[in-house]
Amino acid sequence: MTEKIFLGQGNDKVFLLSNMLNRHGLIAGATGTGKTITLKVLAEQFSSLGIPIFLPDVKGDLFSFCEAGVMNEAIKKRIQLFGLDSFNFNHFPIRVWDFFSALGIPIRITISEMGPLLLAKLCNLNDTQTGILNIAFKIADDNGWLLLDIKDLKSVLIYMGEHASELKLEYGNISSASVGAVQRSIMNLETEGAKDFFGEPALQLEDFFSIEENGFGTINILNASKLYQRPHLYSAFLLWFLSELYETFPEVGDLEKPKCVFFFDEAHLMFDNCPKVLLDKIAQIIRLIRSKGIGIFFVTQNPTDIPEVILSQLGNRIQHALRSYTAKDQKNIKQVAMTFRINPELDIENEITNLKTGEALVSVLQEDGSPCITEKILITSPMSKIGTVSETTIKQIVFNSPLYAKYKDMVDRESAYEILTQRVQQAQKETALQKTTSKQPARTSSSARRKTKSTIEKMGDQVLTGFSRSVGHKIANSLTRGLMGSLTKLFK
């Protein structure tokens, strides 16, 4: 049965329909206009309906879902205004995730899962450098070398640089300058803290789809306060997330309520410097993912931050106030006003700049799939605490999660780095054996000596010393790539 989700009230009460949540949505507005409260209101009600949630927290004020709210004058007035006799404060089940393993369950993905297209965007590579990265992935695929972490990719790039003349007949010209540029970009990733993000155990998206014993959907919160300071990494993860959702889950058609809803905060970062080929694929995913029972809400300051091809697919729209300080701001407000369904009694363009905190212009989808006439409403109050909670409370939630034990320790199994390291070590042993067994050992050419020395220097001390690895799986004989170029292991 379709559920009505109370959003707020103007002349009339406004409800979101649960069977229209997979038509996606937008929450927009300038800083301080009430976007976070609106997000909390929606997430709480979705959770109450048994819908799991994923959302990034860039300011640290969404962990408070875990504690019940308290009464104040503003909330009391809204409850009375809306006639919410059954309103009760409540807490909601949360799970906290973190890229950097500082405050949350560690999130990791492999280099192969990220794929060359998203990795190129993450590293801000030009077309030539992106071509080098694609060749690196192709060489790894052809040789059965798994690319799990950054040192795997660095090892393949070193191999490419040292065997460029041998490889160019099959893979095309491999410029040492371009290889060097990609290597520097990868090094920058390491300094930004991405070293621990790439690896195993890799995140399984199914772990976001849990329902609590009381029937509430779990609210999965990505601790993004530190990640947000690295916008390239943040946006690449969100784009990967979208592509994996699309590729992982089966078609289910239209449901009475979605299997899950994802909120992408600071959504404009996803589309900054986004190449057209990637933007086209994102638009395709947004259009088709609704049939997999997944709803997506983009949260951003201005709707014009989102490409029109994607904005046109967002059926449920909640617009908080925008500020008009420049001619460009005024032009943007005109464009935003034109995207809402006309209400003869409402000057939408004028209202957008005069909305008070907590007020919004709303146009949501009706039963027949058409947008309702735009209404000006006051958003209802959240049931959970408004503000922050202590770090001690968050840590307790993290450590008590059954998924913490699953993801807390990184696993390093045999992959490209280990295989190429063994090759270097074997070459060293053969050279040493020749020196000890031959009375007149063959003289190694100067170019060969330089190549061996270069390899040793570039791979560092780890190549010389080596270390034991966990070999829990067989290297795949058959490898394929999905929509974004991510690697799928067909046989383990």
pLDDT value of residue 487: 47
The answer to whether the CB of 306 falls within 8 A of the CB of 336 is no
pLDDT value at position 364?
A: 97
**Cross-strand pairs, 211:** 217
Q: How high is the mean pLDDT of the chain?
A: 87
- Which tokens hold the place of 321? 């106030």
Q: In one letter, which amino acid is 249? A: F
Is the predicted pLDDT of residue 216 greater than 50, yes or no? yes
Residue 201 has pLDDT above 70, yes or no: yes
Q: Higher-confidence residue: 446 or 311?
A: 311
In the structure encoding, which two tokens stand for residue 279, read together?
């933007």
Taking phi first (over 0 means left), then psi (-120 to 50 degrees means alpha), and beta for anything else, what does residue 460 get? Answer: left
pLDDT value at residue 443: 53
**CA separation (Å) from 112 to 118, 121, 131, 168, 480?**
10, 15, 16, 23, 10
Q: pLDDT (tens digit, 9 = 90+) per residue, 287-303?
A: 999 999 999 999 999 99
Q: Is the C-alpha dihedral spanning 391, 392, 398, 399 positive or negative?
A: positive
Cα–Cα nearest to 192, from 136, 127, 122: 122
- Please provide the distance, in angstroms rounded to a whole number, between the alpha carbons at the two ends of the chain: 41
pLDDT in tens, 171-192: 999 999 999 999 999 998 888 7
pLDDT of residue 452: 47
CB atoms within 10 A of CB 216: 20
Taking alpha carbons only, the member of 365, 255, 366, 368 closest to residue 1 is: 255
Residue 238: per-residue pLDDT: 87
The reported pLDDT for the residue numbered 480 is 42
37-52 pLDDT per residue, tens: 999 999 999 999 999 9
C-alpha to C-alpha distance for 134 and 130, rounded to whole angstroms: 6
Q: CA 225, CA 61: separation in Å to the nearest integer?
A: 10
Mean pLDDT score, 66-89: 92
In contact, 286 and 278? CB cutoff 8 Å = no
SS (H, E, C) 189-202: HHHCCHHHCECECC
Task: List all residues 6 or more positions away from 43 whose beta carbon is below 8 Å from its beta carbon.
Answer: 53, 55, 65, 92, 219, 261, 263
Instruction: For strands 94-98 and 219-223, give the pairing.
Output: parallel
Whether residue 462 is predicted with pLDDT greater than 50 in this model: the reply is no
Per-residue model confidence (pLDDT) at position 485: 56
> What is the C-alpha to C-alpha distance for residues 88 and 84, in angstroms, rounded to an integer?
9
